[in-house]
């Protein structure tokens, strides 16, 4: 009996101890983070604070060594989970990128791709570096890095809503090759010149958005946009967590206090039914459609749709259907740790929109104030480029970046094929590395049943390539064609424009971060040197900040070597 009594007493004590531990843990978990105020006039370019580590269910996974250095495992499965040193379980997802190879001009004379105005990759990798880590290779999309920056391209003249420029010089990371720079500049408009806006904010208020660099930063960011709205603009706010709901019906941009009040009342909690929220947002936009206006859903989220029928296929089909009805999509990414880059990029591409990652209030100002026209107003849709290389001048070529924007040659003339959009004031830059015919060796053989000989014509003897561009105006379904031959006239690298050298420095930075097979001996220090002499006017200081980021990356590289 004494033994039984002692066992019972021990059981009671054990239960009381466990209960106390649980209560203490629960109380700590509810302790709110200290408030953080951030004045707009004291903006600083810095990444949001790292998210606290989460408890890992799998101890075996938790004890794996973290990936360090610039070399990344590119054979990992697509959308692989990324875990950085010093963090808990990390479920960030990035699609696997297989770099574009060199293609022989005689066998593959046509290079066809869709433009891309997304910039998320640059601000996301900046977040990694400023938090003391180098980004995973698949988070580095070089075209988005290059397109993050402003370029001094000429304003468009004539009938087309954009200008087109090319520049040719020696390739900085391989002196035997050439680098071709292609630039597009859309007409710049201020908000007063744009048609009325029908904007539907679709905001993720699920539990995963409670961190300071998510919903709190989201609110501050959208307040910047709200301050720019006019009386003729309308804003609706829809949210999604465990369920979707309409928080604010369409409200005039003149009623800023009403809009801000509805925004500030939002709190994070619950799981994420993303598909239901997207359906509600599009339905709200459709009901209040402005026939001669700009109709757009602005999705702000970490992309972690984890409840409900939210497969990429279902969501993209819905967004594609609404795109055809004239309702476009802008995606703003927030946060870290569970960030779903791969999903958000697909949604924006499908929705005739753009995708930006907001890592600071300064980045929000760039996207939602300084580039507001491009963020909201599309001037040209389904913009495609096709370059035909002259094999007497070019042995082989490689498009740098745009791996997920490649099109088949026949897609260029197919107006039913979707492509990227160009917003007001946006610029697009594409870089090609070229192997001159004098340097390359052709692997083509004389074939019995088809012609493989190069056409020697004095008419085209000085042409490097023929550049073609197709685009549609926003309310049209038939494309317009621009054709422009490009002469084989190369400048010495030190005689090129600041834009040429700076874009090359950014691309070189991306090659090193990806540990590209095509970077040669190029280093971060080489990018630093090239960019330092190509800052140009740098009105907003973005190029100066790039140089600072390069310095930080070099320190991390040295630390990890």
pLDDT digits (tens, 9 = 90+) for 78-122: 333 333 433 445 788 899 999 999 999 999 999 999 999 999 999
Residue 150: pLDDT over 70: yes
Q: Which of 173-182, 208-217, 305-314 ranks highest by mean pLDDT?
A: 173-182
193 or 386, higher pLDDT: 386
Q: How many CA atoms lie within 13 A of 240 on its CB side?
A: 26
Q: Is 473 exposed, middle or buried, given 0-12, 13-18 or 19+ CB atoms closer than 10 A?
A: middle
Coarse DSSP helix, strand, coil percentages of the chain, rounded to the nearest 5 percent: 35, 25, 45
Per-residue model confidence (pLDDT) at position 311: 61
Per-residue model confidence (pLDDT) at position 89: 56
Give SS3 for 288.
coil
Per-residue model confidence (pLDDT) at position 198: 98
Angstrom distances, CA of residue 9 to CA of 1, 2, 14, 19: 12, 10, 9, 15
Per-residue model confidence (pLDDT) at position 244: 75
Task: Identify which of 537, 518, 546 has the alpha carbon closest to the alpha carbon of residue 179.
Answer: 518
- Segment 325-373, tens digit of pLDDT: 999 999 999 998 878 898 888 889 888 889 999 999 999 999 999 999 8
CA 381 to CA 426: how far, in whole Å?
13
Instruction: Assess contact for 81 and 92: CB atoms under 8 A.
Output: yes
Per-residue model confidence (pLDDT) at position 315: 74
What is the rounded average pLDDT for all residues in the chain?
Answer: 84
pLDDT bucket at 59, cuts 50 / 70 / 90: very low
* Predicted structure pTM score: 0.82
How does strand 463-472 pair with strand 378-389? antiparallel
317 or 550, higher pLDDT: 550
Other beta carbons less than 10 A from residue 442's beta carbon:
15
Give all domains of the chain, ordered by start, each with its CATH number.
103-189+379-440+458-560 (2.60.40.1230), 195-374 (3.40.50.410)
Other beta carbons less than 10 A from residue 489's beta carbon:
10
Three-state DSSP string of 482-541: EEEEEECCCECHHHCCHHHHHHHHHHHHHHHHCCCCCCCCCCHHHHHHHHHCCCCCCCCC
Other beta carbons less than 10 A from residue 18's beta carbon:
10
- Report, as an integer, the average pLDDT of 451-462: 69
Per-residue model confidence (pLDDT) at position 14: 42
- Segment 191-244, tens digit of pLDDT: 788 899 999 999 999 888 999 999 999 999 999 999 999 999 999 999 987 667
- Segment 1-15, tens digit of pLDDT: 444 444 444 444 444
pLDDT bucket at 19, cuts 50 / 70 / 90: very low
Residue 64: pLDDT over 70: no
Per-residue model confidence (pLDDT) at position 442: 59
- Segment 498-536, tens digit of pLDDT: 999 999 999 999 999 999 999 999 999 999 999 999 999
- Report, as an integer, the average pLDDT of 383-387: 99
Q: Which residues pair with 487 in a beta bridge?
A: 463
pLDDT bucket at 70, cuts 50 / 70 / 90: very low
CA 201 to CA 263: how far, in whole Å?
10
Q: How far apart are the first and last CA of the chain?
A: 67
CA 312 to CA 314: how far, in whole Å?
6
């Amino acid at each position: 009996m004494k033994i039984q009594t002692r066992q019972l007493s021990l059981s009671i004590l054990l239960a009381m101890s466990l209960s106390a531990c649980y209560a203490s843990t629960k109380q700590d978990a509810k302790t709110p983070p200290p408030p953080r105020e951030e004045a707009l006039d004291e903006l600083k370019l810095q990444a949001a604070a790292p998210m606290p580590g989460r408890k890992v269910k799998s101890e075996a996974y938790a004890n794996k060594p973290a990936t360090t250095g610039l070399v990344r495992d590119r054979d990992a499965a697509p959308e692989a989970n990324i875990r950085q040193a010093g963090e808990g379980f990390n479920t960030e997802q990035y699609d696997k990128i297989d770099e574009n190879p060199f293609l022989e001009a005689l066998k593959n004379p046509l290079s066809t791709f869709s433009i891309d105005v997304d910039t998320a990759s640059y601000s996301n990798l900046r977040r990694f570096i400023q938090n003391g880590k180098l980004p995973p290779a698949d988070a580095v999309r070089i075209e988005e890095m290059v397109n993050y920056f402003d370029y001094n391209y000429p304003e468009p003249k004539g009938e087309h809503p954009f200008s087109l420029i090319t520049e040719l010089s020696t390739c900085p990371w391989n002196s035997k090759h050439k680098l071709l720079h292609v630039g597009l500049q859309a007409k710049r408009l201020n908000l007063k010149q744009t048609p009325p806006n029908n904007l539907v904010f679709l905001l993720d208020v699920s539990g995963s958005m409670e961190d300071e660099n998510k919903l709190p930063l989201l609110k501050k960011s959208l307040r910047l946009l709200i301050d720019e709205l006019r009386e003729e603009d309308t804003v609706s706010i829809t949210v999604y967590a465990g369920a979707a709901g309409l928080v604010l019906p369409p409200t005039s941009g003149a009623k800023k206090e009403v809009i801000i009040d509805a925004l500030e009342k939002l709190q994070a909690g619950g799981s994420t039914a993303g598909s239901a929220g997207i359906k509600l947002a599009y339905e709200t936009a459709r009901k209040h459609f402005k026939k001669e206006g700009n109709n757009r859903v602005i999705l702000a989220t970490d992309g972690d749709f984890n409840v409900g029928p939210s497969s990429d296929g279902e969501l993209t089909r819905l967004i594609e259907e609404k795109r055809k009805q004239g309702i476009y999509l802008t995606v703003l990414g927030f946060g870290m740790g569970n960030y779903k880059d791969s999903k958000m990029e697909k949604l924006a591409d499908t929705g005739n929109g753009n995708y930006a990652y907001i890592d600071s209030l300064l980045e929000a100002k760039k996207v939602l104030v300084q580039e507001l026209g491009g963020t909201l107003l599309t001037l040209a849709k389904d913009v495609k480029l096709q370059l035909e290389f002259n094999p007497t001048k070019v042995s082989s070529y490689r498009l740098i970046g745009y791996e997920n924007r490649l099109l088949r040659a026949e897609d260029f003339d197919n107006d039913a094929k979707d492509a990227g959009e160009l917003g007001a004031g946006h610029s697009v830059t594409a870089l090609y590395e070229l192997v001159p015919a004098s340097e390359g060796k052709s692997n083509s053989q004389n074939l019995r049943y088809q012609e493989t000989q190069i056409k020697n014509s004095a008419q085209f003897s000085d042409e490097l390539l023929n550049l073609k561009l197709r685009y549609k105006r926003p309310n049209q379904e038939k494309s317009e064609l621009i054709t422009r031959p490009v002469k084989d006239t190369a400048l010495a690298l030190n005689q090129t424009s600041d834009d040429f050298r700076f874009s090359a420095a950014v691309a070189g930075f991306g090659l090193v971060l990806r540990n590209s097979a095509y970077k040669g001996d190029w280093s971060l220090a080489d990018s630093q040197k090239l960019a330092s002499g190509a800052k140009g006017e740098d009105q907003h200081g973005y190029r100066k900040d790039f140089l600072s980021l390069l310095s930080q990356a070099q320190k991390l590289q040295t630390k990890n070597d």
